Amino acid sequence: MTNQYPAAAAGRFTFPGTSISVNRMGYGAMQLAGPHVFGPPKDADEARAVLKEAIELGIDHIDTSDFYGPHVTNELIHEALHPYPDTLTLVTKIGAWRDDKGEWILERSPDFLRKSVEDNLKRLGLDRMAIVNLRMSGPEDDMIEPMKAMRQMQEEGLLAHIGVSTVTREQLAVARDIAPVVCVQNHYNLVQRDDDRMIDELAADGIAYVPYFPLGGFTPLQTEELDRIARDLGETPQTVALGWLLHRSPNILLIPGTSRRAHLRQNVAAAALKLDADHLSRLNAIAGLASVS
């Protein structure tokens, strides 16, 4: 490997009002759990190896949650990486739990949010979370009480900084009136572009935007034009889709997930992908052309 830290090729981002600086290419741990993000992985040794190689590749931002598994990804992270490198930023998400059938149960009462942060701290072996994302479920959700609970935990030192997930622009405005928000994690990718305006507004304020399902999630991106551009570049469609996100805005941080080291290396390669004006124009047009299966 000619470059020991290829994740650094996309540059760095500093979260606003913090001393936390990370490479823009990160890693999402969700896929380390079993099928449907429930239960243990098929190959726990490979899962731990993925985490270790992520660090070797220069990834210093890992996104996780105690409801992945549940508990599986946090336990794997602790087993593989603790004691953590000083440069590693672990970000978790709260606002839901899993029942014994694997159903996702949304909950944001103050007591539940506090217990969720405490559980993350315990399983990750930390005294304080660097960033905790408050996950909402839709535009009808009330941001006020959950955000007040987040601010209270921040004041107590359980978490250093607050992010929000699955929010509208209006909800984000309410959240920011209650406490500083350093990142937003929403559904966004080459064809799912409802948040274009939000991304630009956040970039103006220096706030990170972290797209989940950057490759389509459970319905992977499938477009003929993306395939053609990938062939032109001699890359995979997934690499090109990730590369486009890094070109889209300097405040976008990526956390693509995988449970295999070979796929991890492929994802990280997107950090070095260069797209010219023609490729970017063609990729930008895909949102109106693509079909997602």
What is the rounded distance in angstroms from the CA atom of residue 240 to the CA atom of residue 90? Answer: 26
Count helices and strands (H / E) in the chain: 10, 11
Angstrom distance (rounded) from CA 103 to CA 111? 21
Q: Do the Cβ atoms of 245 and 190 come closer than 8 Å?
A: yes
What's the CA gap between 267 and 186, in Å, rounded? 19
Residues annotated as catalytic (active site), given as ranges: 68
- CA 121, CA 64: separation in Å to the nearest integer? 12
Distance CA 226, CA 116 (A): 40
CA distance 139 to 287: 23
| Number of neighbours of residue 233 by Cβ within 10 angstroms | 17
